[in-house]
């Protein structure tokens, strides 16, 4: 019995670990070569390196994150681009109505929150909000689905479909926002004024710390929320999966389904809300940066 | 939570998607919506303008209708008076004609009366003469008593 429990524990940690590891392609110090992390995929035999994920350094790429985010971006922005191209001046089609509704929603947020003159804020808010929503929606797909299709369809043992749960992606967005905020701050207040604001008035270097941390927090907030959501899906899956296995009663499937469904419904709120918060904060930071105060 | 080179890939991808939005999606959407807004406001303006025009046309048509009614009634009045006039004229003519006919009839009557009188007279005279001749055949010459007989005829 004890042995069985220990066995289960190992399986559990394996299961969680499996779901938290990205498909990684990177530089392996041991063999001094590029390749996939050890045993992550079976598709490209020659590219399998001797390093594990944890042994790869900074120069590695999470291919699943990159692939999924670009795919989702292509779908979302492709949709808007195509709808725009097909747009008529007269009575709009339903797709066009939808696209216009989304645009109006974001444009009204930008117009009410941003009082500067920059033309980039609207597109930035639009791109970040929609891209993040499309990422977050991947969280609503069943946790096992990606692994299932990755394994049988592509020969990938590890494949995370949720780019938001990889800190690199939200951080990239937040850093772009930070660069723009810095640019507009310097443009509005001058380099001297900006530095003075960061380091001297009114609380000295504390301002600098808050300046950096608010941008990092922008990324971490998004990442944390979605990572936690993903984690809960995984835990629900484990709990009922184990019950079902140990009691050989597939009826345990039912409460699992209900719990999963209720969390998914609640999670829809987080999906949209986090994207909205990211967009609104982006607008607010840029507004602060490009208006004199 | 491992930061690695994925970050740069995501950075690049985000910049590209922002650029695509900036270049191809955002402005054309703004233009489209602006155009639609303008179109709608133009449409509403045109609608209210045509409403005004309709009201004006209604007023105008009422005025025209009133004028036409007045004209029609005056025409009817005119026609009525003209008809009265014609009837009066006809009456007058008829009366005149009747008078004429009456006069000529009277003249005819008188003429024929006279004729009858003359005829009668002549006949009576002849009768008288014949009577007198029969009387006088016995006693007097007709010629000698002619004056007396003529005076007799006149008396008749």
User: How do the domains of chain A map onto residue ranges?
Assistant: 2-290
Q: B30–A107: do the CB atoms touch at under 8 Å? A: yes
Give domain status of residue B90, yes or no: yes
Do the domain assignments include residue B3? no
Phi-psi sector, A204: left (phi>0), alpha (psi -120 to 50), beta: left
Give the per-residue pLDDT at A243: 61
Residue A280 confidence (pLDDT): 94
Give φ, ψ of A48 to 5 degrees.
-75, 120
Q: Does A224 touch chain B (CB under 8 A)?
A: no
Where is pLDDT greater, at B29 or A246? B29
Q: Is B1 on the interface with A (CB under 8 A)?
A: yes
- Do A89 and B33 lie within an 8 Å CB cutoff? no
Instruction: Give a yes or no: residue B2 inside a domain.
Output: no
Cβ contacts of residue B121 below 8 Å, gap of 6+?
Answer: B153, B156
Model-wide pTM > 0.80: no
Long-range contacts of residues B126-134, Cβ cutoff 8 Å, at least 24 apart: B128/B152, B128/B153, B128/B156
pLDDT computed for residue A249 by the predictor: 59
Q: Give yes or no for residue B99 having a pLDDT over 90.
A: yes
Q: Is A149 on the interface with B (CB under 8 A)?
A: no
Assess: ipTM above 0.95.
Answer: no
**Is the Cβ pair B10, A65 closer than 8 Å?**
yes
For residue B109, tell me if it sits in a domain.
yes
The answer to whether the Cβ–Cβ distance between B6 and A89 falls below 8 Å is no
Confidence of residue B142 (pLDDT cuts 50, 70, 90): low
How much is the pLDDT for B44?
95
Residue A1 has what pLDDT? Answer: 41
Does B33 contact chain A (CB < 8 Å)? yes
Considering its fold, how many domains does chain B have in total?
A: 1
Q: Is A156 left (phi over 0), alpha (psi -120 to 50) or beta?
A: beta
Please name the member of B10, B17, B18 whose beta carbon is closest to the beta carbon of A169.
B10
Q: Do A84 and B25 touch (CB under 8 A)?
A: yes
Which pLDDT value is given to residue B33?
A: 86
CA B62, chain centre distance (Å): 23
The distance of A217 to chain B (nearest Cα, Å) reads 14
Q: In chain B, what percentage of residues exceed pLDDT 90?
A: 54
Q: Establish if B1 belongs to a structural domain.
A: no
Residue B72 in any domain: the answer is: yes
Task: Give me the pLDDT at residue B66, please.
Answer: 96
- Of the two residues B5 and A87, the one the predictor is more confident about is B5
Lowest mean pLDDT among B34-38, B43-47, B52-56: B34-38
- Interchain contact, B25 vs A80, CB within 8 Å: yes
Greater confidence (B1 vs A207) lies with A207
Q: Closest approach of chain A CAs to the CA of B5, in angstroms?
A: 5
In the numeric block, which tokens belong to residue A31?
Answer: 């063999």
Domain that holds residue B39: 9-155
Low-confidence residues of chain A, pLDDT below 50? 1
Q: What average pLDDT does this structure show over B54-73?
A: 96
Distance of alpha carbon A81 from alpha carbon A251, whole angstroms: 47
């Amino acid at each position: 019995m004890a042995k069985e429990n220990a066995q289960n524990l190992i399986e559990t940690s394996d299961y969680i670990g499996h779901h938290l590891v990205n498909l990684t392609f990177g530089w392996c110090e041991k063999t001094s070569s590029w390749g996939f992390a050890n045993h992550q995929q079976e598709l490209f035999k020659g590219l399998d390196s001797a390093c594990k994920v944890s042994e790869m350094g900074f120069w590695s790429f999470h291919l699943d994150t990159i692939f999924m985010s670009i795919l989702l971006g292509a779908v979302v922005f492709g949709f808007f681009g195509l709808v725009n191209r097909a747009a008529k001046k007269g009575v709009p089609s339903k797709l066009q109505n939808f696209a216009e509704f989304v645009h109006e929603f974001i444009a009204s947020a930008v117009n009410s929150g941003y009082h500067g003159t920059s033309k980039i804020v609207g597109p930035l808010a639009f791109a970040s909000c929609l891209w993040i929503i499309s990422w977050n929606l991947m969280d609503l797909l069943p946790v096992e689905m990606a692994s299932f299709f990755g394994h049988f369809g592509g020969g990938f043992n590890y494949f995370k479909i949720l780019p938001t749960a990889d800190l690199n992606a939200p951080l990239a967005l937040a850093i772009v926002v930070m660069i723009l905020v810095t640019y507009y701050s310097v443009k509005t207040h001058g380099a001297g004024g900006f530095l003075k604001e960061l380091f001297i008035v009114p609380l000295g270097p504390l301002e600098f710390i808050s300046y950096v941390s608010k941008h990092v927090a922008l990324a971490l907030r998004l990442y944390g929320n979605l990572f936690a959501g993903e984690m809960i899906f995984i835990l629900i899956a484990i709990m009922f999966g184990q019950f079902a296995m140990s009691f050989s009663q597939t009826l345990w499937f039912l409460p699992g389904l209900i719990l999963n469904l209720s969390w998914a419904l609640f999670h829809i709120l987080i999906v949209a809300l986090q994207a909205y918060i990211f967009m609104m904060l982006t607008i607010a930071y840029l507004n602060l940066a490009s208006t004199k105060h | 939570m491992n930061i690695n080179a994925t970050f740069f890939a995501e950075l690049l991808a985000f910049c590209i998607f922002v650029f695509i939005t900036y270049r191809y999606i955002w402005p054309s959407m703004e233009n489209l919506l602006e155009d639609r807004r303008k179109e709608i406001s133009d449409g509403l303006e045109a609608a209210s303008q045509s409403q005004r025009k309709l009201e004006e046309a209604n007023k105008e048509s009422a005025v025209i209708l009133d004028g036409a009614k007045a004209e029609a009634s005056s025409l009817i009045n005119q026609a009525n008076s003209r008809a009265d006039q014609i009837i009066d004229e006809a009456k007058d003519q008829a009366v005149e004609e009747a008078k004429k006919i009456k006069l000529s009839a009277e003249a005819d009557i008188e003429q024929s009366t006279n004729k009858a009188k003359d005829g009668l007279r002549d006949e009576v005279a002849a009768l008288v003469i014949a009577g007198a001749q029969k009387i006088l055949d016995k006693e007097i010459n007709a010629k000698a008593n002619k004056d007396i007989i003529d005076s007799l005829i006149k008396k008749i």
